[in-house]
Amino acid sequence: MHPHRLTAWAIFTAVAVGFAAPTFAGELPGAQTLASPHEFAALVAKLEAAVTEHKMAVVAKASASQGAAARGVKIPGNAVIMVFRNDYAVRMLEASVPAGIEAPLRFYVTENADGKASLTWRAPSAIFAPYGSAPLDKMAHELDPIFAAIARDAVR
């Protein structure tokens, strides 16, 4: 097989397998996925409430399914909920300006084939580890249990 065709086939296969995967845990360092008993919209609402309950802030929200619906196209629900808090942002930037690209941290809500939804996030310690900064690592390890508690509370 021609090398370019082999490369194209490998890329196609990797993309196809990626779309077929039901969860993201294990694909990225620190990624965790929890199934919930809730439908998509309910899980998004519960997640936003849990973020507030744990004294963090929803900074932004993006949803391809909402955008598609606005065009009359139906796809399974998905939303990226971006979460952070200014005091953590200041500490992050004091520790590493390049790490600023990682904020806000994200939760990903996806609608499953059964109509229920799952919640995926990455541990802040895994996200910030590549920057090699002790103060940044300390902050990230403080955030790990907060993000885990937000996720746990959202899927209840």
Look at residues 119, 150, 155, 153 and name the one whose alpha carbon lies nearest to residue 56. Answer: 150
φ, ψ of residue 121 to 5 degrees: the values are -155, 165
pLDDT of 12 reads 34
Structure tokens at 103: 């904020």
Taking each helix axis as running N to C, give the angle between helix 134-155 and helix 86-95, from 0 to 180 degrees, rounded to the nearest 10: 150
pTM of the model: 0.83
pLDDT of 26 reads 61
Give CA–CA dist 145/151, Å, rounded.
10
CATH superfamily, with its number, for domain 23-155:
TT1751-like domain (3.30.310.70)
pLDDT of 27 reads 82
pLDDT of 125 reads 98
Query: Do 111 and 76 contact (CB within 8 A), yes or no?
Result: yes
Query: Going residue by residue through the chain (156 aa), what tens digit of pLDDT does each one get?
Result: 444 433 333 333 333 333 333 455 568 999 999 999 999 999 999 999 999 999 999 999 999 999 999 999 999 999 999 999 999 999 999 999 999 999 999 999 999 999 999 999 999 999 999 999 999 999 999 999 999 999 999 999
